[in-house]
Amino acid sequence: MYSRPTSAPDWIGILEAAYALDRDDDAWLGGLLEAARTCLDDGMGMVAFVYDASDHRTLQVRQMTSAGVSAPRLEAYFRVSEELAAIPGFLQRTYRSLLCGTMSELERVEYDWRQAAIACGVGDTLAVNGLDPSGNGCLLGVFLHEETTLPARRRQLLSYIATHLANAHRLRQRMRASGQTPVGQLASTGQVLEWAGERDEGLTQALAQAAGAIGSARGPLRFAEGGAAIAGWQGLVQRRFTLVDAPGSAKRGPRRMLAFENEPRVPGFPALAEREREVAAYLLLGHSTKVIAYELGISDSTVRVLLRRVRRKLNVQTRAELLSALRAASREPG
């Protein structure tokens, strides 16, 4: 166990709270807020909720909790959110395509963000949006004292955290729907202790590397400046597997990890192969190739190769043309 330096944010704690799969929804959202407040709280409170934005015209908040937020502010926040959601195209440009950002950074879509901030009694709001290609997600909202523009490094860090929120929420939904069980168990060193189904050398190596990266993130790197440990703890292993702690394992001895199938399910795009559909779906969410690589646990160069194949198959040249073709294929608005 590494002691926490004075005032150092614990970014890894947010990921650990996200993958606490044995908690019910209320406890899970509360745990996320408790962990995130050490890093993000500006003294005006935070909210966490899960939502369904699979229909680009409506936003349905499924469950919500808050910490340090007055009742009037919370009421105003959701009233303003409903007003914004009713603006044509707003959900598509925010919940359905934004990993993280502040209200003041948004373009003005028939609504002045300052009016929204004043209505909530804040200077700005920050959203860390764990969005899945299905349109379901988990969002952390932070109330800020003043207008804020995210520096590039902070935006990248929060984008990585948003990836884990999305993966954890997707896995929780699958476990609820189908009682999904782990496909394998690993030692904290990466040694595969149990595995159901086929496993090749490449997968074994990838699992070992992922477990080692998570161990490093929890070790000396945990409180490194700028959240450096987050970069090594990628979203998935080989596009398919999420690693989480085996419940109670750390209390009984060396930590063990469970591997769950958790690949994103991407509808549409019949002309594309499975891996091409995945990178296309995340590109359509507005994610950079670097973030897509982090989300899927593959290299940035692999993402670029897959996108070149997609462009060839769709007979387009530029990113703008590709996005237009993908929106048409998925029947999403521009």
Neighbour count for residue 64 (Cβ, 10 Å): 17
Which carries the bigger pLDDT value, residue 198 or residue 140? Answer: 140
Which of the listed residues 261, 283, 308 is the one where a domain comes to its end?
261
Q: Is residue 4 scored above 60 in pLDDT?
A: no
Same domain as 186, residue 169: no
Give the amino acid at 174. R
Q: Is residue 127 scored above 60 in pLDDT?
A: yes
pLDDT grade for 3, boundaries at 50, 70 and 90: low
What is the mean predicted confidence (pLDDT) over 101-106?
Answer: 88
Same domain as 63, residue 89: yes
**Shortest CA distance to 264 belongs to which of 249, 251, 280?**
280
What is the mean predicted confidence (pLDDT) over 183-189?
Answer: 91
pLDDT grade for 91, boundaries at 50, 70 and 90: confident
Residues 234-258: tens digit of each pLDDT: 999 999 999 999 987 666 667 899 9
Residue 262: how many CA atoms within 13 Å on its side-chain side? 30
Q: Is residue 30 scored above 60 in pLDDT?
A: yes
- Indicate the Cα dihedral angle 271, 273, 275, 278, nearest 10°: 30
Same domain as 159, residue 31: yes
Q: Is residue 162 scored above 90 in pLDDT?
A: yes
On whether residue 1 sits in a domain, the answer given is no
What percent of the chain shows pLDDT beyond 90? Answer: 60
Same domain as 47, residue 148: yes
Give the residue numbers spanning the domain of 155: 11-174
On whether residue 269 sits in a domain, the answer given is no
On whether residue 207 sits in a domain, the answer given is yes
The reported pLDDT for the residue numbered 149 is 93
On whether residue 318 sits in a domain, the answer given is yes
Give the amino acid at 258. L
Same domain as 280, residue 257: no
Phi then psi for residue 211, to 5 deg, are: -65, -40
The reported pLDDT for the residue numbered 174 is 93
Contact (CB, 8 A) for 237 and 167: no
What is the mean predicted confidence (pLDDT) over 135-158?
Answer: 94
Residues 269-313: tens digit of each pLDDT: 888 999 999 999 999 888 999 999 999 999 999 999 999 999 999
What is the mean predicted confidence (pLDDT) over 17-27?
Answer: 94
Same domain as 203, residue 167: no
Q: How far apart are CA 66 and CA 34, in angstroms?
A: 10
Q: Is residue 320 scored above 80 in pLDDT?
A: yes
Which carries the bigger pLDDT value, residue 156 or residue 227? Answer: 156
pLDDT grade for 110, boundaries at 50, 70 and 90: low
Neighbour count for residue 87 (Cβ, 10 Å): 13
Which token pair is 24? Answer: 């019910």
The CATH number of the domain holding residue 26 is: 3.30.450.80
The CATH number of the domain holding residue 295 is: 1.10.10.10
What is the mean predicted confidence (pLDDT) over 92-103?
Answer: 89
Which of the listed residues 112, 139, 174 is the one where a domain comes to its end?
174
Same domain as 201, residue 222: yes
How many structural domains are present in the chain?
A: 3
On whether residue 110 sits in a domain, the answer given is yes
Same domain as 120, residue 41: yes
The reported pLDDT for the residue numbered 228 is 83
Same domain as 281, residue 148: no
Same domain as 247, residue 315: no
On whether residue 5 sits in a domain, the answer given is no
Which of the listed residues 174, 190, 219 is the one where a domain comes to its end?
174
Same domain as 150, residue 20: yes
What is the mean predicted confidence (pLDDT) over 160-181?
Answer: 93
Same domain as 186, residue 170: no
The reported pLDDT for the residue numbered 262 is 95
